[in-house]
């Protein structure tokens, strides 16, 4: 994949993440081509101007750097005007009818400087089954939650608006977008891991693995809840090691290393037991 300058692009350029949920015209995208909507009606092509704004709600997916193609006909200009309705200059994204695909990037850049390591955890979450979930539960360290919270506090100390959120209980925290633009030490990585584990529990878990509480919010039963915690811990330690000392990193990766090994790709190692 091409190596690109990932500094903030001009308003007419930005990033698009494409998954199986994306429109068909986008799923066929490759570098060097122009992608145009078949009809000039919503859903538009949404081009985010900065990497930290790119939504990643499904996996797997592909990331492209694109430039919005300017309208050339009266019909296109009218459609672009409709697409821009309600947007302010600070929206952080552009709705487009067509984009020129400049380059394909590794999705790992969405999850911070150590995004490749975070990707391994995301893949593990996506492939999780009940046997591995039980293995992660059994291998977890009781102090991992405390170390996970400390790492959040250190990250919050680095953020422009992090002070109000410090010294709180951050167990299970996935994102704090009000603290700073990335939302977390690994972008949207924690939220994606939560979604992947939840989908795995629904698809491969036993009866009762996923339920709703009295407010209608989804809750996971063990071993899935414990496995989710272990994978969040691993993503924190592997994706943001500067936020902890070596002992804390060992605690946070204990379950991960036991089940997957320090250098294995997700799904390549049999769980212990």
Q: Is the pLDDT of residue 221 over 50?
A: yes
Mean pLDDT of 187-197: 97
Contacts of 168 (CB under 8 A, 6+ apart): none
Q: CA 126 to CA 110: how far, in whole Å? A: 17
% residues pLDDT > 90 (the chain) = 80
Q: CA 228 to CA 222: how far, in whole Å? A: 9
For 6-49, write each residue's pLDDT tens digit.
444 444 899 999 998 887 889 989 999 999 999 999 999 999 99
Residue 207: both structure tokens together: 């009866």
pLDDT at 48: 95
Q: How much is the pTM?
A: 0.88
Residue 121 near residue 238, CB atoms below 8 Å: yes
pLDDT at 25: 86
Mean pLDDT of 238-261: 96
Q: Is the pLDDT of residue 214 over 90?
A: no
pLDDT at 243: 97
Mean pLDDT of 127-133: 97
Mean pLDDT of 153-158: 96
Q: Is the pLDDT of residue 205 over 60?
A: yes
For 46-97, write each residue's pLDDT tens digit.
999 999 999 998 899 999 999 999 999 999 999 999 999 999 888 899 999 9
**Closest Cα partner for 32 from 83, 63, 67?**
67
What letters, b where the CB count within 10 A reaches 16 and e where it falls short, cover 148-183? bbbbbebbbeebeebeebeeeebeebbbbeebbebb
Indicate the average pLDDT of the chain: 90
pLDDT at 196: 97
pLDDT band at 192 (very low <50, low <70, confident <90, very high): very high
């Amino acid at each position: 994949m091409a190596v690109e300058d990932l500094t903030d692009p001009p308003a007419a350029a930005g990033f698009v993440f494409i998954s199986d949920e994306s429109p068909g015209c986008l799923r066929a995208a490759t570098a060097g081509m122009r992608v145009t909507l078949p009809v000039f009606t919503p859903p538009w092509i949404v081009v985010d101007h900065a990497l930290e704004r790119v939504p990643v709600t499904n996996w797997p997916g592909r990331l492209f750097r694109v430039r919005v193609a300017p309208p050339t006909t009266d019909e296109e200009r009218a459609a672009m005007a409709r697409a821009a309705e309600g947007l302010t200059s600070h929206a952080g994204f552009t709705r487009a009818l067509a984009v020129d695909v400049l380059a394909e990037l590794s999705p790992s850049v969405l999850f911070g400087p150590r995004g490749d390591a975070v990707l391994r955890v995301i893949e593990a979450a996506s492939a999780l089954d009940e046997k591995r979930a039980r293995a992660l539960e059994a291998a977890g360290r009781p102090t991992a939650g405390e170390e996970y919270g400390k790492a959040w506090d250190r990250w919050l100390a680095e953020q422009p608006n992090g002070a109000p959120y410090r010294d709180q209980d951050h167990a299970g925290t996935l994102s704090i977008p009000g603290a700073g633009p990335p939302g977390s030490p690994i972008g949207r990585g924690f939220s994606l891991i939560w979604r992947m584990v939840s989908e795995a529990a629904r698809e491969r878990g036993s009866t009762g693995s996923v339920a709703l509480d009295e407010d209608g919010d989804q809750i996971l039963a063990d071993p899935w809840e414990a496995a989710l915690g272990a994978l969040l811990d691993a993503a924190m330690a592997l994706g943001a090691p500067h936020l902890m000392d070596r002992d804390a990193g060992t605690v946070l990766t204990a379950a991960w290393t036991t089940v997957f090994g320090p250098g294995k790709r997700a799904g390549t190692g049999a769980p212990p037991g």
